[in-house]
Structure 1
Amino acid sequence: MTQTAPLKKWQEKGYPARLQEDLGDGIVRCHLSPRNCRIRPGQHGFCMVRANRDGKLVSLNYGRSVHATEETIETEAVFHYEPGARILSMGNIGCMLNCDYCHNWKTSQARFVEDKDVFYYTPEEVVDIAKRHGIKVISWTYNDPVVWHEFVVESAKLAQEAGIVNLYKSAFFISPEAIEELIPVIDIFSISIKSMDPKYYRKITKGWIEPVLDGAELVYRAGRHVEVSTLMVTDLSDDEKTARAMASFVGERLGAEVPTHFVRFHPDYKMTNTIRTPVERLEKARRIALEMGLQNVYLGNVYDTDSTNTYCHGCGDLLVTRYGLNANVLGVSADGHCVKCSADANMRRIADVPKASVVDALPAGADLDIATFDWYGDIRALHVQVRNDSSQLDRVYHRRNRPGTRGGSWGVINLRPGESYRFIAAKSTLDEVGVAVAVPRTCTSSLHQVFDRAHFPTLEVDAGTLNADVTPLPLYVNPRAKD
């Protein structure tokens, strides 16, 4: 489609794109995704963030991002790589798919992207943020890192050189050529298989399933850590057929040890006239996959269930407990084995992971604003965004609140002058009622409630939600809908 509206700020500058084929007459072909878009001068590919400018393929989203956010590795449906690890989540603009239920539609669909939601980073800045905050994993995530290819490859290489692990959370609708460029720099692939039904794939995601399955097998055979997940959409894919098809694929083309996640759906984007996936359907899918021989099967976006825990296949001992997006390692050795019976837990660990800073009490006499947020409905996670507006180092504090007490230690986040930072606080125990955040008056801060795994953009808490158990704001409005 030819660009006719005025360019937004984030669209103005293009960055030389990889995987270009020159077709002559100024026409180029993009070999990033299986679409192999043929793009004339002045036009864009399907993703709307790769364009032909003066006969050259360019990326319009290089360094353009949603806010860098500290989360946990469980956010990315990764349970067998350093459970509980803090990660730096980096997401971008655009997507090679257009799923009807997309949780990140406001950024994945480029036409909806507003300049106010776009942040700018260099590869060096991303790595520096992770290093300064003691984070050992960078996750390329949210809408989808496939269309951020140049920035991901270049940044991941720098991260690798700094001893930082790279995680790639993706729907993996990507070409073999692009995968070959990722394999040397990506350590973990968390692959979201939207469905095992080819017709569903084309109708709901606007892509096709075959390259996704082929790509998952390619990175698994390359020896990379792979985990797979599928979103169990209510009354569409939350059935026994999906469970059996997923288990067959993992068992036959990957390996029985590959962690497999059945993920609870929440209505969003164009699919709001429905309900969240009934948990009993997810539990049934898990039982089926285990009966078919898979070793590590979990539920996602679900609380208060043992189906998120990891047990030893040798002695049955409890190895890792999980509650929401939090994990507690009980019985896994540094080399990924059960400490009780030495059986291989198929779990990779990261050596010398820095612990988050904590203090027993707030500093006496500190000039702090304290805000509290209580969990309600299905809102059990919160993004906290803070910016140090002063000319000196400042500290932000956060803590969990439980019934009958407001005590306990405070987590500490150090912010250098001018730094803007975002981090997640997710419900960590059954009895936890909410969180408290203490912010210096020299900082600007805001709280943003989050459904399930994080999504972008989010609105400030004061904006509320349409329905606490169904869908977060902003609410998609079909431009073709009539009053």
Structure 2
Amino acid sequence: MAETSWHNAHPARLEEQLDDGVVRCHLSPRNCRIRPGQHGFCMVRANRDGRLVSLNYGRSVHATEETIETEAVFHYAPGARILSMGNVGCMLNCDYCHNWKTSQARYIDAKDVYHYTPEQVVDIAKRHGIKVISWTYNDPVVWHEFVVETARLAQQAGITNLYKSAFFISSEAIEELIPVIDIFSVSIKSLDPAYYRKITKGWLEPVLEGTEQVFRAGRHVEVSTLMVTDLSDDEKTARAMAEFVGERLSPQVPTHFVRFHPDYKMTNTIRTPVDRLEHARRIALGMGLQHVYLGNVYDTDSTTTSCHSCGAVQVTRYGLNAHTVGLTSDGLCSTCRTDAHFTLFTETDRRTAVSTLPEPALDVASFSWHGDVRAVHVQVSNASSQTETIYQRRFGDPEVPESWSAILLQPGESFRFIAAKSTPEELGVKVAVPKGCTSSLHEVFDRAHFPTVEAGADSGNSDVTPLPAFVPLAR
């Protein structure tokens, strides 16, 4: 287990100094009152000598290139590549957390922790032509100082900032985010206050108020809710979600009903039946919402965007891949010119592709999709003293040209990216690296999570619950 060290302490914002060296943290609705030498609920904000400090500034899981669809964002630059940044700690402790090994700081392994400066994060995005930085995984709320500073630098470089969060955060902190965050993807765990208290260890109304706050500020907002099997995958949840979006936000706000997989403390169950998700979507559409989608599902039209006026297809999606087919450059329906409520990039950000490998001596590794594992994180490292090119491609679908996309790695660079199944017939992904470079493949379950297990490890019940499996620490 990685230690939380005072040597990593960084001055924290939103501090209130009280008597006897006690401080109060105003980052979340908890308003933790912290005595000298103690931590707050999140375990990464603490009191050092009577001052509030952050212990996770710049401490991150590996920066990872993904697609914007991994963040339940469908109406902003479909298919765009994003640089996902996650850290350690959380203001909640959800029983089914998919990122429990980093969100609950006591479980983090030192091998999963990397260190970045704000300048390094922005430089990675610029060098790889990535136009969106996503603050994600465990939850960016506890990384507040690093997020605000880095997002401001990214903004100056013309890079969009995306904030994927359960949004258990104070109004004061939100006001500091609004000037630097362009997209808010809010995960509303439930609309039932009792559920929130029991399952997430937080409370509901600040989440709803915060979501309204960023929506009123004119930021791009999308909302999602995890439909947990036999707990929240019912009509009541669907109606409550649709009512909140329709009445307190807008029927135009994209809404996602997300499929659950067993994880953390909630493994004695099954994945959400897809027919229940489809029913929830029909209810929300029937209540007047214009853009309702399913998440963590394949082989359904419920991830496709169709015009809410004429019905023409505008964006097709398969898993975490998207293709714009019926939108104008300013986000209107190509058929009837109705506003589709999209923000689009003016230029594509696709990687360079080649039809054949330039040299036959490359080492090639492959990963085959199986069961519900239809995505993989690929980590590549360049140990040489010169810039190298690594390649990746999909295989198995005879209708799709098997071209290789190229990724340049600087000397000494480690880079990580996601590959997700893009057609029903596709069988898997291949990665080719030159001498002096290494690669490893890590199974990803549904939308990306951290940490992951390298392919080839005993995956046990990996088609139902991803590794690593939760084992409580001895008290």
What is the rounded CA distance, in whole Å, between the counterparts of 1:401 and 1:352 in structure 2? Answer: 27
Structure 1 position 25 matched with structure 2 position 20? yes
- Please tell me whether the aligned partners of residues 320 and 331 of structure 1 are also in contact (alpha carbons under 8 angstroms): yes
**Aligned residue in 1 for 2:251:** 256
For residues 411 and 464 of structure 1, do their structure 2 counterparts lie closer, same or farther at Cα, with a shift above 3 Å needed? farther
What is the rounded CA distance, in whole Å, between the counterparts of 2:230 and 2:338 in structure 1? Answer: 39
**Aligned residue in 2 for 1:415:** 409
Structure 1 position 135 matched with structure 2 position 135? no
* 5+ residue gaps, structure 2: none
- Please tell me whether the aligned partners of residues 397 and 423 of structure 2 are also in contact (alpha carbons under 8 angstroms): no
What is the rounded CA distance, in whole Å, between the counterparts of 1:128 and 1:426 in structure 2? Answer: 25
What is the rounded CA distance, in whole Å, between the counterparts of 1:217 and 1:268 in structure 2? Answer: 30
Query: Identity of counterpart residues, as a percentage?
Result: 73
Q: After the TM superposition, which of the residue ranges 172-181 and 339-348 deviates more from structure 2?
A: 339-348
What is the rounded CA distance, in whole Å, between the counterparts of 1:51 and 1:435 in structure 2? Answer: 44
The correspondence for 1:161, drawn from 148, 156, 162, is 156
For residues 7 and 265 of structure 1, do their structure 2 counterparts lie closer, same or farther at Cα, with a shift above 3 Å needed? closer
Structure 1 position 88 matched with structure 2 position 73? no
Cα drift, residue 328 of structure 1: 0.5
Q: Please tell me the root mean square deviation across aligned C-alpha atoms, in Å.
A: 1.4
Alignment of 1:387-398 (within 5 A): 387-398=381-392
- Please tell me whether the aligned partners of residues 2 and 108 of structure 2 are also in contact (alpha carbons under 8 angstroms): no
- Please tell me whether the aligned partners of residues 85 and 135 of structure 2 are also in contact (alpha carbons under 8 angstroms): yes
Structure 1 position 369 matched with structure 2 position 360? no
Matching residue's letter, 2:161 = N
What is the rounded CA distance, in whole Å, between the counterparts of 1:303 and 1:421 in structure 2? Answer: 27
Cα drift, residue 360 of structure 1: 1.1
**Aligned residue in 2 for 1:430:** 424
Cα drift, residue 466 of structure 1: 2.3
For residues 95 and 11 of structure 1, do their structure 2 counterparts lie closer, same or farther at Cα, with a shift above 3 Å needed? farther
Cα drift, residue 407 of structure 1: 6.3
**Aligned residue in 1 for 2:261:** 266
Cα drift, residue 404 of structure 1: 6.0
- Please tell me whether the aligned partners of residues 136 and 353 of structure 1 are also in contact (alpha carbons under 8 angstroms): no
Cα drift, residue 408 of structure 1: 1.6
TM-score (normalizing by structure 2): 0.98
The correspondence for 1:53, drawn from 42, 48, 51, is 48
Alignment of 1:332-371 (within 5 A): 332-365=327-360, 367-371=361-365
Q: Secondary structure at the match of 2:374?
A: strand
Structure 1 position 320 matched with structure 2 position 315? yes
For residues 328 and 246 of structure 1, do their structure 2 counterparts lie closer, same or farther at Cα, with a shift above 3 Å needed? same
Q: Secondary structure at the match of 2:364?
A: strand
Number of residue equivalences: 475
Cα drift, residue 27 of structure 1: 0.6
TM-score (normalizing by structure 1): 0.96
Cα drift, residue 54 of structure 1: 0.7
**Aligned residue in 1 for 2:440:** 446
Q: Cα deviations across residues 277-317 of structure 1 (Å, max 9, x unaligned)?
A: 00000000000000000000000000000000000122210
For residues 166 and 339 of structure 1, do their structure 2 counterparts lie closer, same or farther at Cα, with a shift above 3 Å needed? same
Structure 1 position 294 matched with structure 2 position 272? no
Matching residue's letter, 1:31 = H
Cα drift, residue 391 of structure 1: 0.5
What is the rounded CA distance, in whole Å, between the counterparts of 1:159 and 1:407 in structure 2? Answer: 35
* 5+ residue gaps, structure 1: 1-5
Matching residue's letter, 2:465 = T
**Aligned residue in 2 for 1:220:** 215
What is the rounded CA distance, in whole Å, between the counterparts of 1:169 and 1:10 in structure 2? Answer: 27
Matching residue's letter, 2:81 = R
Matching residue's letter, 1:205 = T
Cα drift, residue 477 of structure 1: 1.5
**Aligned residue in 2 for 1:384:** 378
The correspondence for 1:177, drawn from 172, 175, 200, is 172
What is the rounded CA distance, in whole Å, between the counterparts of 1:317 and 1:403 in structure 2? Answer: 26
What is the rounded CA distance, in whole Å, between the counterparts of 1:315 and 1:26 in structure 2? Answer: 63
What is the rounded CA distance, in whole Å, between the counterparts of 2:383 and 2:61 in structure 1? Answer: 20
**Aligned residue in 2 for 1:243:** 238
**Aligned residue in 2 for 1:3:** none
- Please tell me whether the aligned partners of residues 9 and 115 of structure 1 are also in contact (alpha carbons under 8 angstroms): no
Matching residue's letter, 2:402 = G
- Please tell me whether the aligned partners of residues 2 and 106 of structure 2 are also in contact (alpha carbons under 8 angstroms): no
For residues 158 and 353 of structure 1, do their structure 2 counterparts lie closer, same or farther at Cα, with a shift above 3 Å needed? farther
What is the rounded CA distance, in whole Å, between the counterparts of 1:330 and 1:407 in structure 2? Answer: 19
Structure 1 position 112 matched with structure 2 position 104? no
